Amino acid sequence: MRSGTSYFNFTLLRKNAARFWPIWGLYALAWILLLPVAILARRESWTAALAREYPLSLLTNASSIILVFLWAILCAMAVFSYLYSSRSAGVFHALPIRREGLFLTNYLSGLAFLVIPQVLAFLLGLLAAGLNGRVVFSSLFTWLVSVTLMSLFFYSFAVLCAMFTGHLLALPALYLILSLLPYLAALLLEYLAQEILFGFSSALWLEEAAIWLSPLLHIMRSTGLSYSEDGAARYYGLGLVALYALVGLVLAGLALTLYRRRRLETAGDVISVGWMRPLFQWGVAACSALATGLFFYSIFYTLLPQGTWTILGWMLLWGAVGWFVAAMLLQKKFWVFKGSWKGCVVLLACLTALVCAVELDLPGYQRAVPGEKQVVKVSMGSINTYPYDSASSFAWNSSDPQIIRQALALHQAVVDRREELQAWAHDDSYLGQRWSMTEGGYEVETFTTVTLRLSYTLADGTVMKRQYRLPIRQEDLDTAGTPANLLQTLLNQPALLEQAYFEEEDRLVDACLVNLYDEEQEEYVYQPLPADLLEPLMEAVLADIKDGNLGRRYLLENQERMDNCCYTDLELTFRDTSGLPGATPVPTNNTLSTDDTTYTVTITLQKSASRVMEVLKDYPNAFLSQAQVLYQSQG
C-alpha cells in the first residue's frame, strides 16, 4: 500500500505539547496570576470602573507586553529546535510529511502554546469577575483579542528569525537584536552626529522611524488607556496591534518560503541563509564600530584628545574586531585572517571616507544658513540670563523680519567661527576662570557658556534646527560682530522682551515692590502699590521696555549688570482675559497665583528705567534712594 504525505500531523502536535509542557504551563500560570488571581485579590475594592479598567491596564503594562515578547521566542526555540542538529533535522525530514506540513504543524504548535493559556486565563478571569460581583465582558475580551494579536506578531517574527540561523543560541540573540536594533542604532547615530557634526541637535524623524521599526517599543509607546468624561476606561491601540498581526502573517509566509529552501546541512551554522552571510558580517562589523567604538570613546573621554579623529580611531579598531569575530562565527574557526583581511580593509576605508566627508563638511550641513527670504519664522530655546526675574530664562519665536535678520546674522557668525568653537569645546582650561575680583572687593563673572538652539520654519514648510555651545566672555561681549555680542543684542530686542514678560491683552490688577529696603526698620519689605498707580505704571513699564531701558538681559553677572540692576523687583499681577471666566493661562515664564485666572510677572527694576522711576518717585517718599540699592552693595 502506498504511503502518503500530509500537510499537517496531529501526532506531532500532541508530541510537541507533551514534550514542551513546561513552556506553555509556566505561561498559563503567569497569566492566571496576572488576571483571575489578581481580580480575586481585588475583591474588596472591585467596582464596575475597576472591572472595566483592570484587564485593559494589563495591555498597557510593559511587563505584560515583555512577557508575550519573551515567551514568543521560547516557543519558537522549542518547536523548531530540531533544525539546529544535523541528526534531528535528518530524522524529522525523513518522516512522511511534506516540509510545508512540518512547518505548519510546528508553527501552530508554538502559537497554541501562547493562545490556549491566554484563552484559559480569559475564561478564569470571567469566573473571577463573576465571583466578585462585577463582570465587564468587553474589557476582558478586548484583552484576549489584543494579547492574541500581539502573540501572533511576536511569534511569527521569532519563527522568521529561526529560519535565518542554524544555531539554537544564536536564535534569541538574533531575535532580540533585530527587535531593538533600529532604535539603538538611531540613538548611537545621534550621539555620533552630536560629537562630530557641528550644530547638530537631534533628528526626531530618525527616532520616530526607529520606533516604528522596533515593534516592542512602538507597542509600549503607542498604546494606552483614555478616559471618558464619566471616568470609563478605553484601550487605544487595538488597530495598531491588529496591523502588526497582519504583518505577522506576512512574516510567517516568508518563514515558510525560507523553510522550503533550507539546506539541512546548515544545522549548527550561525547564519543558515547564504545571501545573509555577507550582510551578517558587515552588520556585525558596523555595529561593533559604532556601538563599541563610541562606548570606549566615552570611557576614555577625559584621557585622550576629544574630537572626530579620536572617534574614528576607536571606530576603526572595533570595526576590525567586529569583522573578524563575525568571520569566526560564520566559518566556525579562529584562524580567519588570511581570507578575510581584504574585506576588512574595504570596511575600514568606508568608515574613514564617511567620517572624513562629515569632518570636511562635504554635504554642506555645518555651513548651512538659510536665506532671509526662505525663513517664515525663527524660534530660540531658553537661555539663562540676568537678572533673575520672569525673563531670566525664556524661549521665544518671531516672524518679525528684523528679528529674523538678526538671528541669521548670529547664526552666520557662529558658522564662520566653527573651527574656533570646536577647538574651544574640547578645551577644559577655562573651567577655573569664571569669576574675578574687582577693586571694590566683590566678584564679577567673566566667563560662562550657553547653549544656543535655533529653529527655522522655512517657506516650503520644512523645519531647520541647529544647536551650538557658545563661550561668553567679557571681551566677546565688548566686540561687535562676535556671537556673544550678537546674542546679547538679539535677546534685548524690545519685541522679544515684551513677549518674555507679558501675555497679550491681559489686565493688570495688582502691583507691589519686593525687596524694597526700609531704612527705618533696616530690612527689606514687601510694599503693595495703590490702585491709582496701576495704569500709569503699566504705561511706563511698556515704554521703558520699548526704549530698552527696562528688562535688559545680561549674559554675564558683570560690572554693567550690577551697576544697572536694583535689588528691588516690581511684581505685577495680571488677570487672564483670553478665554471664558475661570480659564487658566499657561504663561511660559511667569508664575500662576492661587487664583487660577491670574498670574504674576516679576521685573527687576533697573536704574535706566527712567519712566518707571518717575512714576514711583513719590511712592513711597524717597523711593528712588531706597529702591536703588544696587546688587554689589549687598556683598
Give which of 548, 429, 420 is closest to 476, Cα–Cα: 420
pLDDT of residue 327: 92
Q: pLDDT-based confidence at 447, cuts 50/70/90?
A: confident
Residue of higher predicted confidence among 359 and 1: 359
pLDDT digits (tens, 9 = 90+) for 288-340: 999 999 999 989 887 888 888 999 999 999 999 999 999 998 888 888 888 88
Please give the pLDDT value at position 626: 43
Asked if 385 contacts 555 with a C-beta cutoff of 8 angstroms, the reply is yes
Torsion over CA: 279, 282, 284, 290 (sign): negative
Cα–Cα separations (whole angstroms), residue 57 to 140, 146, 446, 621: 11, 12, 55, 65
Cα–Cα distance between 276 and 355 in angstroms, integer?
27
pTM of the full structure:
0.78
Q: What whole-number distance in Å separates Cα of residue 245 and Cα of residue 250?
A: 9
Q: What pLDDT, on a 0 to 100 scale, did the predictor assign at position 437? A: 59
Other Cβ atoms closer than 10 A to 102: 22
Q: How far apart are CA 138 and CA 19, in angstroms?
A: 35
Split at pLDDT 50, 70, 90, the class of 201 is confident
- The confidence score (pLDDT) of residue 90 equals 82
Question: What are the CA-CA distances from residue 503 to residues 35, 401, 490, 598, 600 (Å)?
Answer: 51, 21, 20, 11, 11
- pLDDT tens profile 541-573: 999 999 989 999 999 988 888 888 888 889 998
Plot region of 36 (φ>0 → left; ψ -120 to 50 → alpha; else → beta): alpha
